């Protein structure tokens, strides 16, 4: 009962466990994979702002999988990321199209414009 109440406030505890496990996997990577993966994760959090805990846990888990595989195969970071790490990061995040923090503000902005367009020049609603 207590766990359900806590999850109502904080989100799924299982998602948090998966996120922490994936982060620990990234921390266990050898350099330079660990350093690149950390930098990408930081960018993901600023750029993507995924608010769906399940989607975030899956994204971070897949990210850890990617770098673990690269380390095992001996691939360079550039082999994985290509020429532009920003483009790679943004494309990676886009593949996880769950809810983002900005979605609510996008909706508010669109609604505000729709409401403003509904008002004619004399301040009356059309």
Q: Exposure string (b/e) for 71-107, b if CB count within 10 Å is 16 or more?
A: beeeeebeebbeeebeebbeebbeebeeebeeeeeee
**How is domain 2-101 classified at the architecture level of CATH?**
Orthogonal Bundle (1.10)
Residue 118: its pLDDT value, please? 86
Residue 124: its pLDDT value, please? 63
Residue 95: its pLDDT value, please? 87
pLDDT averaged over consecutive 10-residue blocks of the chain (126 residues)?
Answer: 56 84 96 96 82 85 97 96 94 79 81 85 58
Domain ranges of the chain: 2-101
């Amino acid at each position: 009962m207590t766990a359900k109440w806590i999850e109502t406030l904080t989100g799924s505890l299982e998602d948090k466990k998966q996120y922490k496990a994936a982060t620990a996997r990234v921390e266990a990577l050898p350099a330079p994979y660990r350093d690149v993966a950390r930098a990408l994760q930081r960018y993901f959090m600023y750029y993507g702002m995924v608010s769906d805990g399940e989607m975030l846990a899956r994204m971070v888990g897949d990210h850890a999988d990617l770098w673990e595989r690269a380390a095992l195969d001996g691939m360079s970071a550039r082999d994985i990321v290509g020429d532009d790490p920003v483009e790679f990061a943004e494309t990676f995040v886009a593949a996880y199209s769950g809810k983002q923090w900005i979605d609510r503000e996008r909706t508010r902005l669109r609604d505000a414009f729709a409401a403003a367009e509904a008002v004619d020049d004399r301040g009356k609603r059309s």
